[in-house]
Structure 1
């Protein structure tokens, strides 16, 4: 019978990653492996008879959140529940860290295998968002005046508190990483760095911020569904996008997280690329502690 063990990965494990058959060509995890095992990142591996057969990890945000991800499995060992066992271990390790109040994961709708794992872990679905990409917003522009930039820090805080923090609404913190809002997610240095705009009536606001994953992105955050009805909204986004393009001189896109309803409202000639939507799953610390207590009670009863 095979012996299995789970441990954190280190630099010496890179050869173990390379020996796996994941079916993923040009895997970014290999390119940035050394960054994914330090700082706010952790990687864990499940070994069967000394062979690395599955690995995954988490990244900590704002000292409060842990996002699971980077799950990879060797195709030769699938069907043995290794991935679920590993991710369960990683979730519990994340919750054991001081300050972590929420653990979640973001996976695409068509990734049924990972969705099943997250459901087995007891994570609830929190949002479904398309990571919509474009370089061309002309179909949404009307020639209206761009919105007014907000410089006042208190005004920025008021908007964030009213629209996100009070409602614990999902906030697109980074491309690929939406998180349920809390005041810890919005330190002053972030609010000063991000660009805020509001319409003349001061009934709507927009955030634009820079991000870089494989490419450069202008990440546009707009918390209402009337994306095609607000004059000047897309002119504002387009202005910031063109400024960013001049700065990067590289492959650069606008990224906007859109609900399925918002996608349906886009004009027929829009230029957005719309990959399979991302489903955010998550669990609060209170729910995790309750589940751990329930398992302990069950084990005691059946001992």
Structure 2
């Protein structure tokens, strides 16, 4: 590690580094960090490893609700890989986060085939929290889902659903789902950002962004999210997702109104049962993390 520090200049990334970001050889045909850098540099803490004026490594972290930190934005230029730089940068960000007494939890999410990041997470003594699939409903899938809803409505009556509007009612609902949340293992806070199922995430500001609907023991939550694409991020913790046209009717109507693509994170059980041909699904995701202070109020 000392040799790495001697070889590279490590410093905070600012908006003035946009050219260095754009010129970095990440080996990716389309790198979203380069496309949305002006937004990321305002929202995240970013560090770069430089040789002269050339950016060869990148790491960052984002803080949610002032307490939950997600490490990410990890990039190493192609010629400088397999030299320990990625692990060094991740450890630097991790150690910086641990020194902040306000932070409660730190973690990272990575896809199943990214073996290097799995190794780094274990090296940092993070616990494996959850494995899940991120699914986006594509246009042909949307048509098929709409047709399925119409057919199902002919076979079963519609149920009455009630919308919750007050943050305190939405919070009480989420607190009541502790047992059901175990099946997913995490809380799908945003697209690409799973977090531990912890009640300190459920601020009034966040809950104001979420719509919540209940019918008996069934419920759904969703919120608008933009990650290059406008998404409707659906959160469901029950066991009958693809047995209830009522749920999908509510979600499809909202997504159509605001021209959103539906995104849902599911566990392996739901994934095995779902009509996969309706969705775009990449490699499974894994969430790792570590509590820095006290235990969570809600433990999945």
Q: TM-score, normalised by structure 2?
A: 0.83
Change (3 A) 1:18 1:188: closer
Q: Per-residue deviation at 1:181?
A: 2.6
Distance 2:148 2:73 in 1: 35
Contact 1:104/1:282, CA 8 A, preserved across alignment: yes
The reply to whether residue 41 of structure 1 matches residue 55 of structure 2 is no
- Picking from 280, 286, 299, the partner of 1:273 is 280
Contact 1:196/1:207, CA 8 A, preserved across alignment: yes
SS in 2 for 1:254: strand
Task: Name the count of aligned residue pairs.
Answer: 277
SS in 2 for 1:232: helix
Distance 2:292 2:179 in 1: 18
Larger % of helix: which? 2
The match for 1:74 is 77
Q: Per-residue deviation at 1:231?
A: 5.0
RMSD: 2.5
Contact 1:139/1:267, CA 8 A, preserved across alignment: no
The match for 1:145 is 158
Contact 1:165/1:183, CA 8 A, preserved across alignment: no
- Picking from 201, 205, 230, the partner of 1:185 is 201
Change (3 A) 1:109 1:216: same
What are the equivalent positions in structure 2 for 1:1-303 lying under 5 Å apart? 3-38=7-42, 40-48=43-51, 51-134=54-137, 135=139, 136=142, 137-138=145-146, 141=149, 142-143=152-153, 144-145=157-158, 147-164=161-178, 170-199=186-215, 202-230=216-244, 232-245=246-259, 252-267=260-275, 270-286=277-293
Contact 1:208/1:240, CA 8 A, preserved across alignment: no
SS in 1 for 2:41: coil
Distance 1:152 1:79 in 2: 51
Q: Per-residue deviation at 1:286?
A: 4.4
Distance 1:156 1:204 in 2: 13
Change (3 A) 1:257 1:222: same
Q: Which moved more, 1:82-91 or 1:259-268?
A: 259-268
Contact 1:131/1:256, CA 8 A, preserved across alignment: yes
Distance 1:111 1:138 in 2: 35
Q: Which moved more, 1:277-286 or 1:211-220?
A: 277-286
The match for 1:249 is none
Distance 2:78 2:275 in 1: 42
SS in 1 for 2:16: helix
Change (3 A) 1:17 1:192: closer
Distance 2:44 2:286 in 1: 21
Q: After superposition, what is the alpha-carbon deviation per residue over 1:197-251, rounded to whole angstroms, capped at 9, x for unaligned?
A: 112xx21110021111111111111012321234522222222222222xxxxxx
Contact 2:180/2:238, CA 8 A, preserved across alignment: no
Q: Which blocks of at least 5 consecutive residues in structure 1 are unaligned?
A: 246-251, 288-303
Change (3 A) 1:6 1:118: same
Q: Which blocks of at least 5 consecutive residues in structure 2 are unaligned?
A: 295-300
